[in-house]
Homo-oligomer: A and B are copies of this chain.
Amino acid sequence: MAKTEMTKRDKEVSDKLQNVGTEILKQVNKGEGPTYQLPVRTLNNVFFDQKSKTIKLGDKMSQRQFLNVAHSRKFMQTILVAAEIRKVIDEQATVSIRDLYYALKHTIAGTDENTFEEQGESDPVIEDIEASLDLLREELHLAASAKGIIAGDLKIKDGKDMIDLTKMGSGGWSVPSNVEPDKLEIKDLDAEYVLFIEKEAVWRRFNEDQYWKKEKCIILTGKGQPGRGERRLAQRLSKEHKLPIYVLTDADPWGMYIYSVIKQGSISLSYSEEKLATPDAKFLGLTTMDVEKFKIPKEVTIKLNAEDTGRLKEMSAYEWFKNKEWQKEFQNMKDKNYKLELEALSRKGIRFITETYVPEKIKNKDFLP
């Protein structure tokens, strides 16, 4: 097929990758052992940055040396991955990280050694390149798994297509993995906030009731722990368009952790979180405090198990949860010894969640920080 023209950003990224090779070539020509510098990505170099309010990678660096036997395999892999990514960008394609692994897997001529034995070897090398060049995976034309759905009063310009998110019927638009500004333009936005919903089934309830139309908002789900696309899209709606982001999850440590990742980011992606996290997001619910507030019958709550209590304890100790509002909620969950799911609200009526619960929480600004 005809290749589309490279964007300015693609050219910059391609140049950065070429530079990796050029630098190494320089070292070789000078008679030096080739060395590649990269940030340390272990826990002791990860911190919560008070300024950006996101999880971030510190400035500890390490070196990968070709002439060090312990490094040479990884070194070879790093160069292979960087070269292949540059090829993918130049061909104006996008591939999955599994494609990349297979594309590069081969037996090195004259040996019985494979370049990669499993995808577990190529994935960390990709992360090294992202972190060392300060590039998003999407800018490297690597697709993450995409599972989110969105609807609401906005249009999205994606290539030649203008997609009207008010006209998606019962299905919704499937959020792609790359939502970077040079790929997706947000147009004709007429919404007052974003409702970021943990569960797809609950999103369907809001979509069926055309909640986004009635309440002038955007409804977005990441189906569980959201993917990069949904998180980056929420960040763009927050930062570029100043929309409040309200997160709606189960009242359990897992739902609240999903909120935490949307807001502050995760340790494993610390090197990209400034570009993925949405520090202005607010937690709408569900909370265990809502049980009494909304007179939810006890029968639909679920007793905490050992895993829940363990996770709850860990969460209470997170720096960003050390405010009195969250500590109060965690304490209440522990004291009452229950959690509850969003679907439990159905006990109060089919449309209780769309017609009463969420609108009241928003009206009363009853959020957790």
Contacts and interface: CB of A to CB of B under 8 A. Distances in A.
Given A201-B99, A204-B94, A209-B1, A106 B169 contact: no
Contact of A347 (B105, B350, B351): B105
Contacts of A172: 173-174, 176
Contacts of A178: 170
Interface stretch (A43-51, A60-68, A154-162, A188-196): A154-162
Number of copies: 2
Contact of A168 (B102, B161, B200, B204): B161
Given A1-B210, A297-B106, A350-B91, A169 B177 contact: no
A93 B163 CA distance: 27
A114 B300 CA distance: 10
Nearest to A344: B102
Q: Is the interface of A mostly helix, strand, loop or mixed?
A: mixed
Contact of A95 (B146, B158, B346): B346
A299 interface: yes
B204 A143 contact: yes
A345 B102 CA distance: 8
Contacts of A341: 98, 102
A200 B145 contact: yes
A229 to B, nearest CB: 9
A214 interface: yes
15 contacts: A88-B350, A94-B205, A98-B343, A99-B343, A99-B350, A101-B343, A114-B299, A145-B201, A156-B169, A158-B169, A161-B167, A169-B176, A170-B176, A170-B183, A171-B176
Across chains A and B, which 5 residue pairs bring their CB atoms closest together, nearest first? A158-B169, A96-B201, A99-B346, A170-B176, A161-B169
